[in-house]
Amino acid sequence: MSKHILLVDDDELMRRSLAFNLDQAGYRTSTAADAESALRLARRDPPDLILLDIGLPGMDGLDALRNFRLEANMPVIFVTARRRELDQALGLELGADDYVTKPFDLNVLLARVKAVLRRSERAASTGVPVRLEVGDLVIESAAHRATLGGDELSLAPREFALLHALALQAGQIVSVDDLLAQVWGAEYVGEPQVVYVHIRWLREKIETDPKYPQRIVTVRGVGYKLEPHLPAEGE
């Protein structure tokens, strides 16, 4: 069965053009000119992926993403022509699965769509443990929920995926390239800065002192390790 993609953009020409090209690539598409209509469509016919313009009239793409996340864990690719909007989205750490700026090369967009869908399928089909416990850190895979010492962590989807990837190999070194391939897709291998930034964000949320991390440890020149046991005070 063809994957269903929901296009949300107030530019009619863009919607028609993208829908045509995605149809030609073998996808089934639905379109909406605003976030409210998109939410109604998604409830009636849940998409496998949403291409979401940030600068929408009425409810903007940032608020729309929050609503989509409340409805279900649907993969979302942000699309925007404005760098400031993209910076805002990144700054809020809303956790879209990818970002594409207009004007974009169609082949690049199709590659991103394919990569996000592949990651989504892999996450749904792999037989990973439903619940991971690393000391006082608990990760519930199906619910996309993580707690630390009983307190729920507010993690964007990519942060959750990164923490989950480290927790699956707790106590072992995971290379930067492996993290890129597992969390972002093989096409991101060679872009380590993406991992560095997300590790910094994660440390700010789970470390007592992010400047001196004890949970996510850097192994210089290799990668990172999630420590299963914290050192006792004074060590």
pLDDT of 106 above 80: yes
Tell me which amino acid residue 124 is.
A
Q: What is the pTM of this model?
A: 0.58
Report, as an integer, the average pLDDT of 27-49.
Answer: 92
With bands split at pLDDT 50, 70 and 90, how would you rate the model's confidence at 117?
Answer: confident
> Cα(53)–Cα(44) distance, rounded to whole angstroms?
20
- What's the chain look like in SS3? CCCEEEEECCCHHHHHHHHHHHHHCCCEEEEECCHHHHHHHHHHCCCCEEEEECCCCCCCHHHHHHHHHHHCCCCEEEEECCHHHHHHHHHHCCCCCEEEECCCCHHHHHHHHHHHHHHHHHHHHCCCCCEEEECCEEEECCCCEEEECCEECCCCHHHHHHHHHHHHCCCCEEEHHHHHHHHHCHHHCCCCHHHHHHHHHHHHHHCCCCCCCCCEEEECCCEEEECCCCCCCCC
With bands split at pLDDT 50, 70 and 90, how would you rate the model's confidence at 216?
Answer: very high
Q: Residue for token digits 């993969």?
A: 75
* Domain residue spans of the chain: 4-125, 131-226
Report, as an integer, the average pLDDT of 188-197.
Answer: 83
Tell me which amino acid residue 191 is.
E
* Phi, psi of 61, deg, nearest 5: -65, -30
The proportion of the chain whose per-residue pLDDT surpasses 70, expressed as a percent, equals 83
Mean pLDDT of the chain: 83
Instruction: Give the right CATH number for 131-226 from 3.30.930.10, 1.10.10.10, 1.10.357.140, 1.10.3080.10.
Output: 1.10.10.10
Instruction: Give the right CATH number for 4-125 from 3.40.50.10170, 3.30.160.20, 3.40.50.2300, 3.30.70.1890.
Output: 3.40.50.2300
pLDDT of res. 65? 79
